[in-house]
């Protein structure tokens, strides 16, 4: 049997257009499925219990009116501000220390195990300390975001630096690359995929850290808003905000995934991206 | 056209290996020093093609790496144009024994790498790399990344990446080991053609005795570790050569001679490995 060579080559573009619509159809079906399940659960709960733990879809829709007419935009802006600075500090310091340790074998031997152990501690346990030093305002949230972001970034950067194969450096040297050129044309591209996945994990951790902190002690922000609605027993409004958070996370994950694929930093599929954020 | 006599007209010693020794310390620098090379001396003339053969682990790669300037710390001297080599000399090119292509670059970009580092213009390096890629038979894989290539194809990328620089001295550490016999033959002929055209000096490591005879002016047989030179065999086959040379009786005699030189060393090397 003869098969056209193009049909066997995984690199050809021919199988793409056929796959894309079916994938979006699957996603659409998934969203519809979730809505149906939600409504089924809401109906069931309405029968079984008096409490409205599961609001009906129309109640939920109405709750968005209430949420958006409150000072929700201010909360989003506040959380955005905290995240921006937190992620900036966390990613920046993670990259710098990661590079320094990755290129210095001796320092790495000492510091890396420490970072690995500290990295596994849930950062939220340090939140009281941050509150103590930085008060209940934005500073403690920024610190929380930075702390959460820092560990995945620094650990991935160290790994990335140690994964640069000496043979690549030798090959580059024989091909007349100067030390600076080796940094730019070997270290950088060789490390980029691993560093980028560290940054993605760091962003996810930073968002979690910030929202958690806002639910514990804060004067505003998206996490604060969730806990506020909860304490007022405005359950539909609470869900409405939570759903926005989910949608935002998914959107951010796909944007980061798309950027990664565009820059050839990752070729992971969308399923993996969901797991990252 | 290049002939035997052409190769011998310049006898200035393009690459001089003068009493070179090298020991490695095992166990992260704490163990006993293990000698890998013991007092090797060799002169490779300008335009000459010299092969190194010897049992596995005897120190051939070590010698090649020292000549490439990748091992700064060794005893004795490797000299290129009279200078002791401790960093890569700009006139050398190298094909490594292990996989050394850059996985983040396409075939085309890999082959352009050295030209780019030396500041060759984008258009010029694209054309030069393109030609070299055609020459090693990767014309339809130019835009692919190494992960999508076979081991033999990747090795040809590495070969093209070195050749495109037109190095004066070419160090090749088992460049064809991952290739099938047919590709090996074709690329061998191509290498000889380029080498005689550019009057390149080649030091070529191989385990394939036939290949050594087919390509070389001289074949250096090395002993088991620590490597010293056991014998040097002159290959008195006429040039230009092509792969039909393998059917000549002299070819068979030379291969047999090399094998008899290596046989004891191979057994010695194996025995050492069994003892641990
Ligand atoms: N960086 C190193 N550290 C410690 N020992 C080394 C190092 N490089 C090589 N050796 C040792 O030196 C000896 C010679 O190694 P080398 O790679 O030069 O052998 P070779 O002749 O190229 O072998 P092969 O034909 O299998 O490639 C080996 O015993 C090897 O274990
Ligand atoms: Mg070797």
| pLDDT tens string A76-133 | 889 999 999 999 999 999 999 999 998 888 898 999 999 999 888 888 888 888 888 8
Q: Which residues pair with B231 in a beta bridge?
A: B221
Separation in Å, CA of A214 to nearest CA in chain B: 41
pLDDT band at A68 (very low <50, low <70, confident <90, very high): confident
At B174, phi and psi to the nearest 5?
Answer: 45, 55
Quick one: which H or E segment has residue B172?
strand B169-173
Q: Comparing C-alpha atoms, which of B125, B205, B118 is closest to residue B160?
A: B125
Task: Decide: B156 and B138 in contact? Cβ < 8 Å.
Answer: yes
Residue B156 CA to residue B188 CA, distance in Å, equals 12
Nearest to B117 among A177, A189, A192 (CB): A177
Ligand nearest to the CA of B36: 1
Q: Residue A37: exposed, middle, or buried by beta-carbon count in 10 A (0-12, 13-18, 19+)? A: exposed
Residue B16 CA to residue A231 CA, distance in Å, equals 84
| The pLDDT of residue A73 is above 70 | yes
Cβ–Cβ below 8 Å for B102 and A171: yes
At B18, phi and psi to the nearest 5?
Answer: -120, 100
Cα A147 from chain centroid (whole Å): 14
Tokens of B92: 């050398």
A169: contact with B, CB 8 A cutoff: no
Mutate to test the interface with B, among A165, A173, A176 (most CBs of B within 10 A): A176
Give me the interface pTM, i.e. the ipTM: 0.88
Mutate to test the interface with B, among A109, A171, A193 (most CBs of B within 10 A): A171
Distance (Å) of CA B237 to CA B213, B242, B272: 9, 11, 36
The whole-number pLDDT of residue A275 equals: 46
Choice between B126 and A253, residue whose per-residue pLDDT is larger: B126
At A205, phi and psi to the nearest 5?
Answer: -65, -40
The whole-number pLDDT of residue A10 equals: 46
Residue A228 CA to residue A209 CA, distance in Å, equals 18
Q: Where are the domains positioned within chain A?
A: 57-276
Quick one: which H or E segment has residue B188?
helix B181-198
Longest dimension (CA), chain A: 77
Tens place of pLDDT per residue across chain B (276 aa): 333 444 443 446 899 999 999 998 876 667 788 888 989 999 999 999 999 999 988 999 999 999 999 998 999 999 998 899 999 999 999 999 999 999 999 999 999 999 999 999 999 999 999 999 998 899 999 999 999 999 889 999 999 999 999 999 999 999 998 888 888 888 898 899 889 888 999 999 999 999 999 999 999 999 988 889 999 999 999 988 887 888 999 999 999 999 998 888 878 777 776 655
Cβ–Cβ below 8 Å for A173 and B114: no
Q: What is the dihedral of CA A194, A196, A198, A204, to 10 degrees?
A: -150
Please state the rounded mean pLDDT for residues A168-184.
95
The whole-number pLDDT of residue B173 equals: 96
Choice between A219 and A146, residue whose per-residue pLDDT is larger: A146
**Which residues, other chains included, contact A272 with Cβ-Cβ below 8 Å and sequence gap of 6+?**
none
Nearest to A189 among B93, B104, B117 (CB): B104
Helix, coil or strand: residue B202: strand
pLDDT band at A148 (very low <50, low <70, confident <90, very high): very high
Tokens of A112: 């890396």
Percent of chain A with pLDDT over 90: 35
Ligand nearest to the CA of B28: 1
Q: Comparing C-alpha atoms, which of A228, A197, A196 is closest to residue A215?
A: A228
Report DSSP letters for A160-196, one per residue. HHHTS-HHHHHHHHHTT--HHHHIIIIIHHHHHHHHH
Q: Which CATH class is domain A57-276?
A: mainly alpha
pLDDT band at A21 (very low <50, low <70, confident <90, very high): low
Task: Decide: B67 and B92 in contact? Cβ < 8 Å.
Answer: yes
- CB pairs under 8 A, 24+ apart, for B27-36? B35/B225, B35/B226, B36/B62, B36/B225, B36/B226, B36/B227
Tokens of A32: 């519809």
**Which residues, other chains included, contact B43 with Cβ-Cβ below 8 Å and sequence gap of 6+?**
B13, B15, B16, B17
Cα A130 from chain centroid (whole Å): 22
Residue B112 CA to residue B102 CA, distance in Å, equals 11
Separation in Å, CA of A148 to nearest CA in chain B: 30
Whether a cis peptide bond, with omega within 30° of 0, leads into B240 is yes
At B203, phi and psi to the nearest 5?
Answer: -115, 125
Helix, coil or strand: residue B190: helix
Ligand 1 centroid – CA B56 distance (Å)? 8
């Amino acid at each position: 049997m003869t098969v056209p060579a193009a049909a066997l080559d995984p690199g050809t573009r021919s199988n793409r257009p056929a796959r894309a619509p079916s994938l979006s159809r699957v996603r659409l079906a998934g969203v519809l499925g979730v809505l149906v399940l939600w409504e089924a659960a809401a109906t069931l709960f309405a029968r079984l219990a008096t409490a409205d733990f599961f609001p009906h879809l129309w109640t939920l829709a109405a709750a968005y009116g209430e949420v958006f007419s409150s000072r929700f935009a201010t909360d989003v802006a506040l959380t955005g501000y905290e995240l921006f600075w937190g992620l900036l500090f966390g990613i920046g310091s993670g990259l710098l220390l990661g590079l320094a340790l990755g290129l210095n074998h001796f320092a790495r031997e000492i510091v890396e195990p420490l970072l690995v152990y500290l990295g596994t501690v849930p950062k939220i346990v340090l939140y009281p300390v941050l509150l103590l030093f930085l008060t209940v305002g934005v500073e403690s949230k920024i610190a929380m975001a930075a702390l959460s972001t820092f560990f995945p970034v620094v650990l991935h950067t160290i790994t990335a630096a140690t994964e640069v194969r000496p043979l690549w450096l030798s090959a580059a040297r024989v091909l007349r690359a100067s030390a600076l050129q080796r940094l730019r044309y070997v270290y950088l591209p060789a490390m980029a995929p691993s560093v980028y996945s560290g940054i993605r994990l760091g962003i996810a951790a930073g968002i979690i850290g910030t929202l958690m902190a806002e639910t514990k002690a804060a004067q505003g922000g998206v996490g604060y808003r969730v806990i506020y609605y909860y304490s007022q027993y405005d359950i539909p409004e609470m869900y409405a905000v939570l759903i926005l958070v989910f949608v935002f996370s998914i959107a951010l994950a796909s944007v980061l995934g798309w950027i990664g694929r565009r820059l050839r930093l990752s070729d992971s599929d969308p399923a993996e991206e969901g797991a990252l954020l | 056209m290049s002939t035997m006599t052409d190769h011998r007209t310049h006898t200035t010693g393009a690459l001089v290996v003068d009493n070179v020794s090298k020991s490695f310390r095992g166990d992260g620098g704490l163990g006993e020093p293990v000698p890998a090379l013991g007092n090797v001396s060799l002169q490779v003339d300008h335009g000459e093609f010299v092969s190194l053969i010897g049992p596995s682990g005897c120190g051939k790669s070590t010698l090649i790496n020292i000549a490439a300037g990748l091992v700064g710390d060794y005893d004795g001297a490797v000299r290129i144009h009279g200078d002791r080599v401790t960093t890569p000399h700009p006139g050398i090119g190298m094909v490594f024994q292990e996989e050394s292509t850059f996985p983040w670059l396409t075939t085309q970009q890999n082959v352009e790498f050295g030209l780019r580092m030396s500041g060759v213009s984008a258009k010029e390096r694209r054309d030069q790399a393109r030609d070299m890629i055609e020459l090693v038979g990767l014309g339809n894989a130019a835009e692919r990344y190494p992960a999508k290539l076979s081991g033999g194809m990747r090795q040809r990328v590495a070969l093209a990446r070195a050749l495109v620089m037109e190095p004066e001295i070419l160090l090749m550490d088992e460049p064809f080991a991952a290739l099938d016999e047919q590709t090996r033959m074709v690329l061998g002929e191509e290498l000889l053609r380029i080498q005689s055209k550019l009057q390149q000096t080649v030091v070529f490591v191989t385990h394939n005795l036939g290949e050594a005879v087919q390509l070389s002016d001289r074949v250096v047989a090395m002993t088991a570790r620590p490597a010293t030179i056991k014998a040097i065999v002159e290959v008195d086959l006429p040039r230009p050569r092509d792969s039909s040379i393998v059917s000549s009786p002299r070819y068979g005699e030379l291969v047999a001679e090399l094998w008899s030189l290596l046989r004891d060393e191979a057994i010695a090397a194996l025995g050492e490995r069994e003892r641990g």
